[in-house]
Amino acid sequence: MVRAATGEKKTGRTRQTVESRRGQLIALGLAFFGTRAYDVVSIDDIAEAAGISKGLLYHYFPTKRDYYAAVLETAAEDLRLQTVIDPTLTSDVRLRTGLEAYLDFVKARGPAYVALMRGGIGSDPVIAVILDRVRGHFIDTILKDLPPHPRPRALRVLLRGWVGFVEETSLAWLESPPGTISRAQLVATASSVLVSLLGDMLT
């Protein structure tokens, strides 16, 4: 069992407390990193907002970079979990339902989504891998539905482009005034781009 070394009373703490404290710190990080640059977010501000000592924060996350990575990992995992779709549905319905779930995540969890997408500290490979894994997950999900392809590596390049299309329209949608474009139109357009890409590649 993990135990905090400083800053909290040692009596009566359970694993549950440790987990929920960690969750609280991550939630705080999602709000902070979604709206501020990495290097202007200070560990002091986070500790103060959480009402704990800086030492205790460092107990959970040894460095600021570790904390940042944990926050982005959580956003990535939340996004992945929210877009799990019943595999017994037809592929058309799964695509539409998956895109709807994705956009619902974007709307409901704006700062977390922005933190994940704009994450990274320059060309930081450690952080970049978190986002690359989510992208890879979506690409694999699409590929699983397709017949084996003679040039799968070329197809992956184009599918990564499609994921980029979805990400950038999502960010633009989040920033745009209400009424600019509907969720339904975004879903329809992203679906039709994917279908036309696959059509080009598979013929």
* Residues in contact with its own copies by the rule CB under 8 A: 33-41, 65, 68, 114-115, 118-128, 151, 153-154, 156-158, 160-169, 171-173, 176-177, 180-181, 185-186, 189-190, 192-193, 196-197, 200
Minimum CB separation of residue 59 from its own copies in Å reads 22
Q: Which is nearer to its own copies, 56 or 165 (CB)?
A: 165
Residue of 84, 92, 198 lying closest to 143 (CA atoms) = 198
Residue 202 identity (one-letter amino acid): L
Query: How far apart are alpha carbons 123 and 34 in whole angstroms?
Result: 18
Q: Which is nearer to its own copies, 22 or 135 (CB)?
A: 135
Query: How far apart are alpha carbons 28 and 22 in whole angstroms?
Result: 10
Query: How far apart are alpha carbons 95 and 78 in whole angstroms?
Result: 18
Q: Which is nearer to its own copies, 56 or 174 (CB)?
A: 174
Minimum CB separation of residue 69 from its own copies in Å reads 12
Query: How far apart are alpha carbons 61 and 114 in whole angstroms?
Result: 22
Q: Which is nearer to its own copies, 98 or 120 (CB)?
A: 120
Minimum CB separation of residue 128 from its own copies in Å reads 7
- Find out whether 102 and 156 touch, Cβ atoms under 8 Å: no
